[in-house]
Amino acid sequence: MAACRASVHHDVVPSGTTDIRKALTMTNALRVADVQKVYGGKRGSTTRALDGVSFDVDRGEFVAIMGPSGSGKTTLLNCIATIDRPTSGVVSVGGVDVTKMRSRDLAKFRREQLGFVFQDSNLLDTLTCRENVALPLSIARVPVPQIDQRIEAMARALGVSEVLDKFPYQVSGGQKQRVAACRAMVGNPTLVLADEPTGALDSKNSKLLLERFDALNKQLNSTIIMVTHDSFAASYCQRVLFIRDGRIFTELRHGNQSRKEFFSQIMGVVATIGGGMDDAL
């Protein structure tokens, strides 16, 4: 088993580190402090999507964010991903406040430190699936032989080897989402941010994707933050943060209990929150 893990590590971990990655060995992976996000102008009505959200995520933690529709969970993920800027508050990655980064630094941060799995996959239809997965490695100037090895290893793990040379419009929605997950994880990013990653998958492929997230988290100590409405998906995480009306409602920790027991706990909170949460297996 140890030899197998060493092989996986060699396949997916790029050489070299960055200042942020070094900082992660000494600090929390993520700190969100009193983050607020208000939409609207002075003349019109305003919407407070986030209302003083604060929490820390340890390096190597696998965290789910859950909440009813309109609770602010996707807005929170976008602020962490630097896709959106909070109105106030701090989002700190490895001790670096990303809300104060310049545009050039943000682009480099997104490219080198973040892996994204979007709800609708966001693959480029003009590229093959293989070329889509290769993009972050090509931009990072990883040698071509290593690119091929990493793509093949990740594609095998997620069961999409047979579609690598097809275009996204030639494969199913579930396959596209798994290819998108390959692209997000192939470069071993500091943070993997996933927005409803199992939404387009059947139960078998959802389980496969979640198990790969779990393996990435445990073997490579990667930090994964996943927004989901699915209690089954959340049960794979070490911790679940629940958001309601733009605030942290409560949190659950997996601890030493079984995944089935953790799932039951999650279902209990989901039933309490209500508001359009899908709590079916």
Residue 251: how many other CB atoms lie within 10 Å: 15
Please list the pLDDT of the chain residue by residue as tens digits (281 residues): 443 333 333 344 333 444 444 444 445 789 999 999 998 867 768 889 999 999 999 989 999 999 998 899 989 999 999 989 999 999 988 778 889 888 888 888 888 788 888 878 889 999 999 999 999 999 888 999 899 999 998 898 888 999 999 999 999 888 888 899 899 888 878 788 999 888 878 888 788 888 878 887 887 777 899 999 999 999 999 999 999 999 999 999 999 999 999 999 999 999 998 754 544 33
Strand partners, 128: none
Domains within the chain, CATH numbers bracketed:
2-26+58-82+99-273 (3.40.50.300)
Q: What is the largest CA-CA distance in the chain?
A: 63
pLDDT for 194 equals: 92
pLDDT for 275 equals: 53
Q: Which residue in 100, 98, 88, 107 sits closest to 34, CA to CA?
A: 88
Burial per residue of 187-217, b for 16 or more beta-carbon CB atoms within 10 angstroms, e otherwise: bbbbbbbbbbbbbbbeeebbebbbebbbebb
pLDDT for 139 equals: 87
Strand partners, 197: none
pLDDT for 22 equals: 46
Vertex 158, ends 153 and 162: CA angle to 5°? 80
Burial per residue of 230-242, b for 16 or more beta-carbon CB atoms within 10 angstroms, e otherwise: bbbbbbbbbbbbb
Q: At what angle do helices 144-158 and 2-12 cross, to 10 degrees?
A: 120
Residue 253: how many other CB atoms lie within 10 Å: 12
DSSP string computed for 235-277: TTSSEEEEEETTEEEEEEE-TTS-HHHHHHHHHHHHHHH-SS-
SS3 143: coil
